[in-house]
Amino acid sequence: MRALIQRVTAARVDIDGATVGEIGPGLLILVCAMQGDDADTARRLADKVLKLRIFRDDAGRMNRSLTDTGGAALAVSQFTLAADTSRGNRPGFSAAAVPEAGAALYDVFADRLAETVEVARGRFGADMAVTLTNDGPVTIWLDTAA
């Protein structure tokens, strides 16, 4: 699985002009299931996100995790993280999991986060508008295959 994580002071996702998920301080997580991923992969990625020490401590160093801060997570599915741009100018997305598997793994990922922190969600497969205020800015790329 792949995830692009942004530390935010606030984030929300709207569908057709209506807000479906919104958080204050925490993490916006754009997530993509890849071919060959399974539920264990989704849970491991969620555990990594929860423990990632990218929040400031009292000394101003990135030394605290989402669970340490009590922040929230906004999980948004984004198959375009699977983009292959190695040939030509049009990205290919064949490395992404098929939609049925992608939706199921997105749910496993978000459900695992929700065992520990407050989680808001986008809607798998929907045309979403994501708004965020990046804190830092801090943006981290995670890929379970690496």
Q: Are 66 and 50 a contacting pair, CB within 8 Å?
A: yes
Tokens of 93: 């997305």
Tokens of 41: 């992969």
pLDDT by residue for the chain (146 residues), tens only, comes to: 999 999 999 999 999 999 999 999 999 999 999 999 999 999 999 999 999 999 999 999 999 999 999 999 999 999 999 999 999 999 999 999 999 999 999 999 999 999 999 999 999 999 999 999 999 999 999 999 86
Of 6, 41, 55, 79, which one is the catalytic site residue?
Answer: 79
Note the pLDDT of residue 32: 98
The fourth-level CATH superfamily of domain 2-138 is D-tyrosyl-tRNA(Tyr) deacylase (3.50.80.10)
Of 41, 78, 109, 124, which one is the catalytic site residue?
Answer: 78
Query: Is 35 part of the annotated catalytic residue set?
Result: no
Of 80, 131, 133, 139, which one is the catalytic site residue?
Answer: 80
Query: Is 79 part of the annotated catalytic residue set?
Result: yes
User: Helices (DSSP H) in 52-130: which residue ranges?
Assistant: 66-69, 99-114
Note the pLDDT of residue 89: 95
User: Helices (DSSP H) in 15-98: which residue ranges?
Assistant: 39-51, 66-69
Residue 105's nearest CA partner among 146, 144, 53 is 144
Query: Is 67 part of the annotated catalytic residue set?
Result: no
pTM assigned to the model: 0.95
Parallel, antiparallel, or unpaired: how do β-strands 72-77 and 26-32 relate? parallel
Whole-number Å distance between alpha carbons of 78 and 101? 13
Tokens of 134: 């990046």
Q: Is 68 left (phi over 0), alpha (psi -120 to 50) or beta?
A: alpha
Domain ranges of the chain: 2-138
